[in-house]
Structure 1
Amino acid sequence: MPLMCIQYSEHLPNKQKIKSFVVEAHEYIASLVNTELNSFKTRIVPVAEFIVGDGKTDEQRAVLFVDFRMLPGRTDEVKKQVGDYLLQKAQAAFQEGITRIQVHIQVQVGQLDAPNYHKND
């Protein structure tokens, strides 16, 4: 049921850590939102082009967008904990110690529209 989409610029530092970032997030968040680990689905999407601000120095910038969605029923506090966790882990994996490039990280946590969410598993 929880769905996550990670979009990142192709020159994101430490991008080889994305899979471990996702697996650790699945494991931690499963207990936080009280759902089964195997219900998590994540898409990892490299983005060939992106623009930050004026777009003049994008080769010196990288982006990482994390969009996390779950079915309704979680409190705002739980959603905040999920967002805080994802941001902290993303900063540790993709931003800390990186000086050659500026990494922009955004995390969004929201709800799936339950009446319009369809799946076959």
Structure 2
Amino acid sequence: MKTCLVVDDSKVIRKVARHILETLQFEVREACDGREALEACQAATPDVVLLDWNMPVMNGMDFLRALRESGMTQKPKVVFCTTENGMGHIRAAIEAGADEYVMKPFDRDTLESKLQIVGLV
């Protein structure tokens, strides 16, 4: 079974994402900020990280940079999931190592198509 780490400071978003991902046959773990997510990835690397941009403690971009610079041999796919929709934000995320980008609010079809693009569905 494929695994996904949902990283968002909103409990509602994590719950919605978990429900969608479980219908797509993913095992889901959650983190409420980038630091917690980095620790979770180091403990057990997920296949994909669904990542929010704006979070306390460590935001999505800082997490992504730390993940890509880490010494982990297996690095998960990263799908940014955020309300930040400017081309500058999208470009910065891709340049920092994101594999795909999805806008909030999202639905099952949108998330499934992004996961197909990164080769996980």
TM-score (norm: length of structure 2): 0.28
Which structure's residues are more often helix, by fraction? 2
RCO (CA 8 Å, sep 6+): is it higher in 1 or 2? 1
Name which one, 1 or 2, has greater alpha-carbon Rg: 1
Which structure's residues are more often strand, by fraction? 1
